[in-house]
Amino acid sequence: MTGFATDILPRYWAVVPAAGSGTRMGGELPKQYLPLCGRTVIEHTLRRLLSHAKISGVVVAVAGADPYFAAIRARLPDYGKPFLMAEGGSERCHSVLSALCALEPVASSTDWVLVHDAVRPCLRHADIDRLMHALDGHPAGGLLGLRLHDTIKRVDAAGGVRATENRSELWRALTPQMFRLGVLSAALAQAIADQAAVTDECAAMERHGAVPLMVQGAPDNIKITQPQDLPLAEFYLIQQGDET
């Protein structure tokens, strides 16, 4: 892949796919709408992104029949930035691509896009800064991640341990994942056309020939997937203080 000129100040946009049903939480509400420290999960997430000085605007992709988000949007402060909506799809890749299409009228194809999970409300501004700094001028882009410290086992369908993996090259993928708008759109569109199972933006970019950069993130940037994650997220938010 070719590099990009660095003499033009880059712009950064945030994309938040929020069309999931969150069935693993076991409740009626999608997990992004669960209460957390006096707000919903997604409100914390959006405030962290919108309040960052370098982020030019945000696009949120929600389900077409979503009955919750309009009220949440009305409660968000006015940060003086574009706040766009897109209709989400059946999978994450469809939602992200829909959001990128919504960005095209206001953004350049070489602008950076930070795709962030709606259910990671504890994202630190320092992590956003670290990602932007590490990828300044990078030809592909990259993502936040955490090195694996546990011993990793590979098992068969019956649960039998078949191998112990070399953890020195293994990381947990976090978000944001940050790539150029035009290239990411092309990579996702190709993955969808090929019916390839890509669970994050990095996987789509890998298929597209890129070598994304892994950037060390903070361990408190947790993803809320189980009920026990909510009190832990509350603990982290209280520890961090107000970053919005």
Q: Hey, how many other C-beta atoms are within 10 angstroms of the C-beta on 232?
A: 14
**Does residue 222 contact residue 229 with C-beta atoms inside 8 Å?**
yes
Distance of CA 233 to the CA centre of its chain: 17
How far is it, in rounded angstroms, from Cα 207 to Cα 94?
Answer: 16
Q: What is the pLDDT of residue 241?
A: 87
Residue 169's contacts (CB-CB under 8 Å, 6 or more residues apart) are none
Q: What is the pLDDT of residue 244?
A: 76
> What domains appear along the chain, each with residue ranges and CATH number?
12-240 (3.90.550.10)
Q: What is the pTM of this model?
A: 0.93
194: left (phi over 0), alpha (psi -120 to 50) or beta: alpha
How far is it, in rounded angstroms, from Cα 40 to Cα 121?
Answer: 9
How far is it, in rounded angstroms, from Cα 64 to Cα 15?
Answer: 17
Grouped pLDDT means (10 residues each) for the chain, 244 residues? 54 96 70 96 98 98 95 96 96 98 96 98 98 96 96 96 93 98 98 96 98 98 96 96 81
Q: Hey, how many other C-beta atoms are within 10 angstroms of the C-beta on 207?
A: 15
Q: What is the pLDDT of residue 9?
A: 78
